[in-house]
Structures are given as C-alpha cells and as structure tokens.
Amino acid sequence: MPDFDLSPLESRVLGCLLEKQLSTPDVYPLSMNGLLNACNQSSNREPVLSLVESDVREAVDALIARGLAEHWPGRVLKVAHTAKPTWNLSVQEGALLGELLLRGPQTPGELRTNTRRMYAFPDLDEVEGCLAVLMEAEPPLVVRLARVPGAREARVAHLLSGPVEAGGAVPPAPNAAPARAGRIEQLEADLSSLREELAELRREFEAFKAQF
C-alpha cells in the first residue's frame, strides 16, 4: 500500500492525472508536456503554479516509486495514474479526490460544483455518500475538518499528504446572510465554474490543434 506523504508537487501531478482521465479522456494518458500544462493551468487550481518540466518529471518519478503512477511507452512517453485500482476508486470518488488534490479543502457543496468537468453529481446526497466511502477507507483518504465559526458547512480535505489540522486549512468565508443570498452565491459559483471549464476547453483545443 502506498504511503500517504505526498509533496505539494506530487499532489498536483496526481490530481491532474485523476482530473484529465475524466475530463479529457481522449488525450489521456498525458504526455509530459500535457501534464506540465495541466499542472500550470490557471483555472481549477489552488494555488496556481509555474512549474518547469524537470519539476514534473521529478514528481512523476516519485509517484511511480510510490506505486501511484506509471509510464505508458510509445512514440511519445505518456504518464497515467494507478490510484483508482490501488484504492479501488469509483469514478465519483476519483473526481472528488482529484478535486481535493487540485484545490485543497472544500465543502461538499463546493465539491459538487467544482467536479462537474469530471462527473456531474445529481445531488449532495451522492457527494456525501462518496465522501463517506473515502473517509471509511483503510487507511482513510479524506477527513472532514471542524467547522470554522461563522461558516455554513465544514470542509473536507484529503489525507494523501499526511494528517491535516483544521486550523491549517483555508477557512470558508463567514456568512450570516439569509438563504436567498446563499442561493445567489451558489449560482455565482456555478457560473464561475462553467466559465473556467469553457476557458480550459478552449485552451485544450488550441493545444490539440498545435500538434498537427
């Protein structure tokens, strides 16, 4: 069983591989250049990074040593993750884990919105059910953090980089507004996510055209 002590770069690379397998299966496994672009993209990433290829290669080698990634030989060397068979992840669980790796602690509502490019959860009940599976895994893959005072929901964090302290997680913004304001906030988050997805699809299409 792989150990859970991923560096920030290893977490970013693994998150990108989980994401791209679901969001752009036609170009998965990823070439090293494709993986570098995925790691450095500005949408759906927290924090936004500016890596070079040697950074990504080092992280890939570390993930391979941990049993979480593998090379796919061919005309162009490609990389795939092995997290799903290693941890027996469903598509839904892989989407949630990938999102937590890419953007850090989030509420179930945020996860439902932010995973749409990978999997469209029909409701929060399915999100909570999949999170429960990840929490009850042996060893656990995610944890629910203590709710920050003033926040509507507790956030969830992955455990692949070791134990998480609630105080070290980015706290959700306090919100004492009525339910109507909460619905508006959710709609704004949905719109922002759709804009990010459209921008990312455009970038990937341009990168695809550049290969010919």
CA distances from 162 to 127, 130, 143 (A): 23, 21, 11
Identify the pLDDT of residue 171. 40
Read off the pLDDT of residues 179-198 as tens digits, 9 standing for 90 and up: 444 455 556 666 666 777 77
> What is the set of domains in the chain, with CATH numbers?
8-86 (1.10.10.10), 98-196 (1.10.10.10)
pTM above 0.85, yes or no: no
In sequence order, what are the residues at sequence separation of 6 or more whose Cβ sits closer than 8 angstroms to the Cβ of residue 156?
A: 100, 105, 106, 107, 108, 111, 131, 142, 143, 144, 145
Reading the block at residue 192, the tokens are: 């922002």
Q: Compute the distance between CA of residue 74 and CA of residue 87 in angstroms, rounded to an integer.
A: 27
How does the average pLDDT of the chain come out, rounded? 87
Whose tokens are 């080092």? That residue is 58
For 36, 96, 169, 195, the CA distances from 9, given in Å and listed in that order, are: 11, 18, 18, 26
Beta bridge partners of 156: 106, 144
Query: Is the confidence at residue 178, as pLDDT, over 80?
Result: no
Element (H, E) at 62: helix 53-66
pLDDT tens-digit map of 111-156: 999 999 999 999 999 999 999 999 999 999 999 999 988 888 999 9
Q: Is residue 131 within 8 Å of 115, Cβ to Cβ?
A: no
